[in-house]
């Protein structure tokens, strides 16, 4: 049986298998995370942070809880929840179960009066941008907090739709360093979406791929292998997120004085990659055999593995990360709840919640203890300067010319 026939047969088998397992996927994710020791993020109260088994490098949020300004903020937020339902609306490019399965229990345990009153709207990055901007321009803001990539945030900031906020957790926690937050308070990073090469183990053999912990240039160059023509998938690089960010990073380390970076991009483009709507869609396509290989977020591979899909990954050293950030909207209808949510996300409790969901938190010690960054591997920010996003149009056009989408 030749390789193409083997791949076609495997696609047919796993597309049926995945259809049968879809309804139990979320349950499977939870079971695997708990079995792997990732279920211990639940924090009953801020004082409980001292007894958790996960060591953090930060100052305990119990210290800031005694601060009078925080007490006043909590009181204001509670008043908002007493009169509004929902009393907090979040537009986020992550799936809705991210909130319901991983974040909600911890947040509601700290603020029980908000239970059931947080509305998480899962939207694409472009939808977040469109909705948030149109609401702001119409003077009818609905979202209090948004969570998207840097290029979307940069656009909204430039158009005045984002509110600056000085988050006390940034100064209280040592994992906030230069480049992980805006000094003016327009945005703050909360985690890294780590970028890996994922592949369908029924369609691609390990011998066709570089070894784990090779350089990023070696790992991502696998997408240029002519053997994968018509088999590659990744999210649009024009957004400078899960695909565009690693490609930008390669530009910074390879240089382009002799056209070497452009040559690599052209070789990848020659494989006629399928451009997907998101990293999650790419992972799903690889899992069911629609694609054989592509760029995927680490957590998306975990999700598909938990569902029993034939998917694995190649991890580079350094491991490339794309910073995920949040921001408070200008004229947020529930401003106190918006500030409280940001403080939770940037606190040790929120960092633990992120780790439980499979996302690499900014707190490196938490990420290491949850095995989200392999031992001995360095995590680097693909785009360490937010100013890159301010020139996002130039990069978007570059990738559009190369990949067509």
pLDDT tens-digit readout, 159-169: 999 999 999 99
Tell me how long the chain is. 405
CATH of domain 41-190+324-376: 3.40.190.10
**Binning pLDDT at 50, 70 and 90, where does residue 263 land?**
very high
User: How many helices (H) and strands (E) would you count in the chain?
Assistant: 19, 12
Q: Give which of 281, 279, 288, 282 is closest to 307, Cα–Cα.
A: 288
pLDDT digits (tens, 9 = 90+) for 31-56: 333 333 333 322 222 322 222 333 43
Res 63: pLDDT: 47
CA 387 – CA 405 distance, rounded (Å)? 23
pLDDT at position 373 over 90: no
Average pLDDT, the chain: 85
Res 62: pLDDT: 43
Res 67: pLDDT: 61
CATH of domain 3-34+193-321+395-403: 3.40.190.10
Res 70: pLDDT: 86
Are domains 3-34+193-321+395-403 and 41-190+324-376 of this chain identical in fold?
yes
Structure tokens at 313: 């990954």
Res 368: pLDDT: 85
Q: Give which of 372, 357, 276 is closest to 319, Cα–Cα.
A: 372
Domain extent listing, the chain: 3-34+193-321+395-403, 41-190+324-376
**Binning pLDDT at 50, 70 and 90, where does residue 68 land?**
confident
Phi, psi angle pair for 67, to nearest 5°: -70, 135
CA 302 – CA 357 distance, rounded (Å)? 10
**Binning pLDDT at 50, 70 and 90, where does residue 340 land?**
very high
CA 335 to chain CA centroid, Å, is 24
What is the 3-state composition of the chain as percent helix, strand, coil, each rounded to the nearest 5?
50, 15, 35
pLDDT digits (tens, 9 = 90+) for 117-155: 999 999 988 899 999 999 999 999 999 999 988 888 998
pTM of the complete model beyond 0.85: no
């Amino acid at each position: 049986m030749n390789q193409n026939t083997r791949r076609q047969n495997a696609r047919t088998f796993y597309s049926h298998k995945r259809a049968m397992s879809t309804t139990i996927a979320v349950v499977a994710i939870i079971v695997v995370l708990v079995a792997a020791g990732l279920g211990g993020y639940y924090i009953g109260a801020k004082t409980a942070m001292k007894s958790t088994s996960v060591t953090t490098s930060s100052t305990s949020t119990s210290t800031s809880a005694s601060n009078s300004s925080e007490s006043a903020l909590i009181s204001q937020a509670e008043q908002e929840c007493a009169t509004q339902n929902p009393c907090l609306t979040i537009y986020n490019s992550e799936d809705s179960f991210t909130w319901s399965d991983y974040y909600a229990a911890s947040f509601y345990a700290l603020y029980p009066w908000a239970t059931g009153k947080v509305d998480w709207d899962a939207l694409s990055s472009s939808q977040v941008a469109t909705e948030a901007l149109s609401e702001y321009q119409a003077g009818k803001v609905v979202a209090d907090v948004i969570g998207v990539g840097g290029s979307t945030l940069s656009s909204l900031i430039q158009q005045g739709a984002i509110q600056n906020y000085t988050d006390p957790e940034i100064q209280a926690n040592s994992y906030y360093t230069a480049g992980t937050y805006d000094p003016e308070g327009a945005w703050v990073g909360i985690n890294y979406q780590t970028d890996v090469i994922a592949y369908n183990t029924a369609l691609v053999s390990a011998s066709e791929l570089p070894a784990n912990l090779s350089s990023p240039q070696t790992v991502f160059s696998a997408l240029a292998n002519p053997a994968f023509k018509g088999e590659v998938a990744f999210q649009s690089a024009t957004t400078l997120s899960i695909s565009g960010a690693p490609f930008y990073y390669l530009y910074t380390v390879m240089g382009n004085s002799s056209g070497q970076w452009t040559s690599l991009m052209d070789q990848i483009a020659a494989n006629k990659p399928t451009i997907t709507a998101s990293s999650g869609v790419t992972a799903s396509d690889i899992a069911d055999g629609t694609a054989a290989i592509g760029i995927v977020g680490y957590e998306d591979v975990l999700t598909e593995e938990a569902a029993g899909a034939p998917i694995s990954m190649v991890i580079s050293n350094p491991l490339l990360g794309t910073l995920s950030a949040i921001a408070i909207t200008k004229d947020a209808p529930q401003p106190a709840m918006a500030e409280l949510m940001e403080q939770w996300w940037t606190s040790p409790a929120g960092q633990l919640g992120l780790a439980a969901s499979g996302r690499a938190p900014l707190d490196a010690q938490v990420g290491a203890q949850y095995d989200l960054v392999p031992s001995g591997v360095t995590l680097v920010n693909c785009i360490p300067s937010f100013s890159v996003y301010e020139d996002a149009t130039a990069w978007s056009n570059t990738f559009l010319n190369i990949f067509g989408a």
